[in-house]
Amino acid sequence: MKEVFVDGVGMTKFGKFPNKTLVDLMAEAASLAIKDSNSQDVQAIFIGAQNPEEFTGEANIAAALADKLELTGIPASRIETASSSGASVIEAAFYAVASGRFERVLVVAGEKMTHLPTPKVTKILAEVIESYERNSGASMVALAAMVTQAYAHYAKLSHRKLEQVLCKIAVKNHKNGAKNPYAQFQKEIDDDTYFNSRIISYPLRLFDCAPITDGAAALVLTSHRTDVKISGMGHGTDTIAVRHRVHLHHFNAARIAAREAYKMANRSPSEIQFAEIHDAFTCFEIIGAEDLGLLDEGKGWRAVEKGYTEIDGKIPINPSGGLKARGHPVGASGLAQAVEIVWQMREKVAKERQIKRNDIAVLHSIGGMSNNNVVIIFEKPGTPHSTGFCFEREIVDAKKHKKDPIRVGREGILDAYTILTVVPEGFPSPLVLGLVSVPSGHRILARAVNPVTFRVGERVFLSKEEDTFYFMKASAMEKALFSLKKALRKVKLSMRWKLR
Amino acid sequence: MKEVFVDGVGMTKFGKFPNKTLVDLMAEAASLAIKDSNSQDVQAIFIGAQNPEEFTGEANIAAALADKLELTGIPASRIETASSSGASVIEAAFYAVASGRFERVLVVAGEKMTHLPTPKVTKILAEVIESYERNSGASMVALAAMVTQAYAHYAKLSHRKLEQVLCKIAVKNHKNGAKNPYAQFQKEIDDDTYFNSRIISYPLRLFDCAPITDGAAALVLTSHRTDVKISGMGHGTDTIAVRHRVHLHHFNAARIAAREAYKMANRSPSEIQFAEIHDAFTCFEIIGAEDLGLLDEGKGWRAVEKGYTEIDGKIPINPSGGLKARGHPVGASGLAQAVEIVWQMREKVAKERQIKRNDIAVLHSIGGMSNNNVVIIFEKPGTPHSTGFCFEREIVDAKKHKKDPIRVGREGILDAYTILTVVPEGFPSPLVLGLVSVPSGHRILARAVNPVTFRVGERVFLSKEEDTFYFMKASAMEKALFSLKKALRKVKLSMRWKLR
């Protein structure tokens, strides 16, 4: 393979831009990246976007952008891997340059979302969720909330401690965002702001979730040597359904991607000096850092507590403000992470948020509910190798995933649950969803009979009506009440039937 | 670059499959391609699809397919270039293998469309059209109809002759489709069937248009030598708006793609023995063959008349039945063309439609209204080179395209027009659209004042109301009538205003 380097980079400010189209934003970022390059010549265009068709009503954006940039003639392709599209587009372009076919290609990613009402955006985003889980009322934040709970259980974090840690991440990323003129939110928040924000899907609050954003980012990749090299490229997938995974508290797809990236770069996590991690939800920042091997497994939260992930910490994470504060135009985020890494390495643009040790960095991007993840390693050419390849995280064999059971017994163990207050259309609020392990070794997604709080790891009773599983407290009283309700419903139904 | 070969290939039957999901269809094709391969091992998945989100309501299909195939873990990316997605996905996978990163990758493309009502499908497909043209009422078939007219004018074909040629293409492709058990339409049609089919957008009839189809195709690319090599890869873009092109009667994007493909393969058009060409509309088969240099410019229709493009002709085109008869699941068609080429070269599957000379073939795929095209050359390794690279078609410098004029004079020349009988929602039927060249050298899309027939090349009068241009016969009477109507409308409006 030919070596691949980053030439110019550029991005639009992230935020709300009602008067600009997606192609306008992409063209703006692209022009900045080309202007920032050693040569204005590019031989192909690679575009990343999650869902321009439904967000903007416009398709065929690869050709549209080539036209807008007056680069009509050269190849233009779009790459899509849900929310990691901004990183996987770098991957596709990387191979095109590494093959020797092109010497210089333009890579652009963008999304335009803020012009739509939030429920519509949420609905479009939810299309990446496996259909049974989506039809059961699970939104992205609901699934993230359950992953967060599973992580807390694994790491033995009390609810109070979990909240403090998540708050710390949100506060840190807003602090970094305040130093980033390209960020959607350029103001710091304090603990009160975090704790006063409403619960969206317990235990996640509004300030645990990345916002809805417009924006685009771009870079030029080249086979000619520059001051930043892409040394490692990894990409991994996982089951589309969250319930089909062996572990809920980490992301197998990220670990596979990380292993491949470290292997190609002949590096180990200990050599990484800073990271841009996909914090679509605060807890994903810790899980991501653990998956990448940057923080100890189940103990990443301690590093957060101690401030190790701050700009001046041992291993700075998301100096840009992350998805939380820079904003999250879904298909653009991965590429915006790359732009931040390059800016940090060049020590010109980052200014107030400049990281001192900036020779090797890692980019971590999550696609969908973490089933299409990309990890990319950037380094300054010539940075010495202190370890060689080494990566010690457990990676589960995909074949071990159990799909849906034919029969489910009468009880199970609650692996995680969430109380949604913001529910998809057609569902009652609050809606309590749980992931329950059953004795056969399968895991099911179920709905709580009553909107009460549970304890992760507790035994629950199960029931099924039509296609929906229900779970309830494993107490005789609850069970009796549920049976009674069920019986009453049947009586009502049969009466209605007779009345016809 | 490493050499890239095709290992196994496979496809589903094309047609209507109400009980299968898009991922089901893709998985079926993928499994066939893997089974057909020398090794069952693949290291990455590349997926092509135009718009699964809007056609099926499901996103994140790359991860979903990996999961369905129990290949979870390995990278999975989707590539999209509108209707050439099935070919551009081969391109992206080609570079990944050519770079040396992967030895063996799975390439799959599919689309599922038939479960939606036709107007809905047409609306989704129209999203690839430039917004001004779309908002003026131009559908894909309307633009294709105008291109067809421009071709006929350039080739000096009378309307009667044009109809006969188009009929001949439809009949030929149905004849080939009748020999293809994977085709959506496996029956021959005669001239009467063609001429009795209704006009959709003058001069195009129903039998000039590829159908709405479900289906998927797949192949495995490898760096290990097999009996079929991909020797040439080209990809070109053009303006998103049809009116911004220098020429209407050929496709610049196809010519650029062809030039790049021939150059990489070090071949000339004269060495090509058969072709799969993107006949989404019958006339595109001739234009495509001319753009590829297979038939003489402006004279391709003669080759059709003489039967040169039949299976046993000098240069067989679309032995599969083409998009017309095999069917056109938009994102899958490019890959289905590749499968047909490989089957022809292997002389096992094609049977009744087997082409005798099958050492070198070309694939031609159109994205959008021909602004994102891909050309790929396949050959049996070791096929001698008789000419070396040579390609003599005019290719227009994209910078020469004129964008929209600020002012338009009172008259222009009608370059092409169409009478839509099937119109987009909100437009009167029939709707007459025309592409009119104005003295400043620009071309505008205009609507005819009256639904009458015109002559391509005739002088027309122009008028503008709000954002819409109108054209009319360049006669004093027409103009007077139009002015009168306009005046009456103004009077009405002002009266309505006063009454309020």
Q: B357 and B392: one domain?
A: yes
Burial of B356 (0-12, 13-18, 19+ CB in 10 A): exposed
A51, A63, A100 ranked by CB distance to B1: nearest: A100
| Chain A, nearest residue to B4 by Cα | A99
DSSP of A77-124? EEEEBTBTHHHHHHHHHHHHHHTTS-SEEEEEEEE--TTS-HHHHHHH
Q: Rg (Cα) of chain A, in Å, rounded?
A: 23
Indicate the residue among B399, B434, B468 that finishes a domain: B399
Looking at residue B370, the DSSP 8-state letter turns out to be T
A367 neighbourhood in chain B, CB within 8 Å? 60, 63
Q: B111 and B230: one domain?
A: yes
B103 neighbourhood in chain A, CB within 8 Å? none
Q: B364 and B431: one domain?
A: no
Q: Is residue B280 part of a domain?
A: yes
| CATH number (domain holding residue A450) | 2.40.50.840
Integer Cα distance of B326 and B215 in angstroms: 10
The token pair that represents A254 in the structure block: 């990220």
At B405 the pLDDT is: 82
CB neighbour burial string for B121-155, b if at least 16 within 10 angstroms, e if fewer? bbbbbbbbbbbebbebbbbbbbbbbbbbbbbbbbb
The span from the first CA to the last CA of chain A, in angstroms, equals 73
Integer Cα distance of A367 and A239 in angstroms: 12
Q: Is residue B160 part of a domain?
A: no
At A415 the pLDDT is: 97
| CATH number (domain holding residue B325) | 3.40.47.10
Is the Cβ pair B74, A130 closer than 8 Å?
no
Instruction: Give the residues across from B277 on adjacent strands.
Output: B364
Integer Cα distance of B6 and B4 in angstroms: 7
Is the Cβ pair B58, A127 closer than 8 Å?
yes
Q: Is residue A358 part of a domain?
A: yes
At A497 the pLDDT is: 64
Is the Cβ pair B92, A95 closer than 8 Å?
yes
Alpha helices in A347-500 (DSSP H): 476-499
Q: Is residue B44 part of a domain?
A: yes
Burial of A395 (0-12, 13-18, 19+ CB in 10 A): middle
Q: Is residue A203 part of a domain?
A: no
Integer Cα distance of A102 and B264 in angstroms: 12
**CA-based nearest distance B469→chain A, Å:** 23
**CA-based nearest distance B106→chain A, Å:** 15
A258 neighbourhood in chain B, CB within 8 Å? none
B70, B98, B235 ranked by CB distance to A75: nearest: B235
Q: What are phi and psi of A372, to 5 degrees?
A: -155, 75
Burial of A35 (0-12, 13-18, 19+ CB in 10 A): exposed
Q: Which of B125, B27, B99, B104 is nearest to B68 (CA)?
A: B27
Is the Cβ pair A238, B130 closer than 8 Å?
no
The token pair that represents A341 in the structure block: 């890494």
At B368 the pLDDT is: 98
Q: B292 and B220: one domain?
A: yes
Angle among Cα B99, B101, B107 to the nearest 5 degrees reads: 90
3-state secondary structure of B15: strand
B367 neighbourhood in chain A, CB within 8 Å? 60, 63
Is the Cβ pair B398, A71 closer than 8 Å?
yes
Q: A322 and A459: one domain?
A: no
At B499 the pLDDT is: 64
Burial of B370 (0-12, 13-18, 19+ CB in 10 A): buried
Is the Cβ pair A239, B67 closer than 8 Å?
yes
Q: B27 and B69: one domain?
A: yes
Rounded alpha-carbon distances, angstroms, from residue A412 to A65, A153, A328, A452, A461: 52, 17, 37, 17, 7
A63, A71, A233 ranked by CB distance to B240: nearest: A63
Percent of chain A with pLDDT over 90: 89
CB atoms inside a 10 Å sphere around CB A199: 17
Q: Which of B459, B488, B484, B404 is nearest to B136 (CA)?
A: B404
ipTM, 2 dp: 0.95
Rounded alpha-carbon distances, angstroms, from residue B248 to B147, B150, B155, B431, B436: 6, 6, 12, 20, 11
Q: Would you tell me the crossing angle of helices B159-177 and B140-154 to the nearest 10 degrees?
A: 120
Integer Cα distance of B115 and A380 in angstroms: 52
| Domain total of chain B | 2
Residue B331 contacts by C-beta under 8 Å, 6 or more apart in sequence? B48, B49, B50, B51, B52, B80, B83, B85, B86, B109, B110, B111
3-state secondary structure of A379: strand
Q: Which helix (H) or strand (E) holds A234?
A: strand A229-237
Q: A254 and A355: one domain?
A: yes
Indicate the residue among A336, A370, A399 that finishes a domain: A399
Is the Cβ pair A72, B239 closer than 8 Å?
yes
Whether the CB-CB separation of B419 and B430 falls below 8 Å is answered with yes
| Chain A, nearest residue to B240 by Cα | A64
pLDDT tens sequence for chain B (500 residues)? 999 999 999 999 999 999 999 999 999 999 999 999 999 999 999 999 999 999 999 999 999 999 999 999 999 999 999 999 999 999 999 999 999 999 999 999 999 999 999 999 999 999 999 999 999 999 999 999 999 999 999 999 999 999 999 999 999 999 999 999 999 999 999 999 999 999 999 999 999 999 999 999 999 999 999 999 999 999 999 999 999 999 999 999 999 999 999 999 999 999 999 999 999 999 999 999 999 999 999 999 999 999 999 999 999 999 999 999 999 999 999 999 999 999 999 999 999 999 999 999 999 999 999 999 999 999 999 999 999 999 999 999 877 777 888 788 889 999 999 999 999 999 999 999 999 999 998 999 999 998 888 999 999 999 988 889 999 998 877 777 777 877 887 787 777 766 65
Rounded alpha-carbon distances, angstroms, from residue A333 to A53, A177, A337: 18, 14, 6
B236, B240, B252 ranked by CB distance to A75: nearest: B236
Angle among Cα A331, A337, A341 to the nearest 5 degrees reads: 155
Q: Which of A245, A7, A231 is nearest to A103 (CA)?
A: A7
Q: Which of A111, A110, A106, A98 is nearest to A46 (CA)?
A: A106
Q: Is residue B308 part of a domain?
A: yes
Strands B443-448 vs B468-473: parallel, antiparallel or unpaired: parallel
CB atoms inside a 10 Å sphere around CB A284: 28
A75, A91, A239 ranked by CB distance to B237: nearest: A75
Q: Would you tell me the crossing angle of helices A61-68 and A22-35 to the nearest 10 degrees?
A: 50
**CA-based nearest distance A167→chain B, Å:** 30
Q: How many A/B residue pairs have CB atoms within 8 Å?
A: 215
A138 neighbourhood in chain B, CB within 8 Å? none
B240 neighbourhood in chain A, CB within 8 Å? 60, 63-64, 67
The residues of chain A scoring below 50 in pLDDT are none
Is the Cβ pair A95, B91 closer than 8 Å?
no
**CA-based nearest distance B127→chain A, Å:** 5
A439: containing domain: 411-499
CB neighbour burial string for B266-298, b if at least 16 within 10 angstroms, e if fewer? ebbbebbbbbbbbbbbbbbbbbbbbbbbbbebb
**CA-based nearest distance B84→chain A, Å:** 10
| Chain A, nearest residue to B235 by Cα | A75
3-state secondary structure of A175: helix
Most B-contacting residue of A24, A51, A58, A72 (CB-CB within 10 A), to test interface: A72
Question: Whose structure tokens read 């004849």?
Answer: B175
At A484 the pLDDT is: 80
A235, A240, A397 ranked by CB distance to B75: nearest: A235
Integer Cα distance of A140 and B60 in angstroms: 13
| Chain A, nearest residue to B65 by Cα | A240
Integer Cα distance of A224 and A103 in angstroms: 7
Whether the CB-CB separation of B242 and B358 falls below 8 Å is answered with no
Is the Cβ pair A60, B82 closer than 8 Å?
yes
**CA-based nearest distance A125→chain B, Å:** 9
Is the Cβ pair B95, A91 closer than 8 Å?
no
**CA-based nearest distance B373→chain A, Å:** 8
Q: B214 and B70: one domain?
A: yes
Q: A394 and A421: one domain?
A: no
Residue A95 contacts by C-beta under 8 Å, 6 or more apart in sequence? B92, B95, B96, B98, B99, B101
Q: A217 and A348: one domain?
A: yes
| Chain A, nearest residue to B2 by Cα | A99
| Chain A, nearest residue to B238 by Cα | A72
Cis, bond preceding B451 (omega within 30 deg of 0):
no
Q: Which of A232, A235, A273 is nearest to A252 (CA)?
A: A235
Indicate the residue among B336, B370, B399 that finishes a domain: B399
Instruction: Give the residues across from A317 on adjacent strands.
Output: A275
**CA-based nearest distance A47→chain B, Å:** 9
Q: Is residue A405 part of a domain?
A: no
Q: B392 and B469: one domain?
A: no
B44, B50, B237 ranked by CB distance to A76: nearest: B237
Whether the CB-CB separation of A65 and A75 falls below 8 Å is answered with no
Q: Is residue B148 part of a domain?
A: no
3-state secondary structure of A491: helix
Residue B341 — left, alpha, or beta (φ > 0 → left; ψ -120 to 50 → alpha)? alpha
A95, A244, A372 ranked by CB distance to B76: nearest: A372
Q: What are phi and psi of A109, to 5 degrees?
A: -140, 145
A372 neighbourhood in chain B, CB within 8 Å? 60, 62-63, 76
Q: A439 and A313: one domain?
A: no
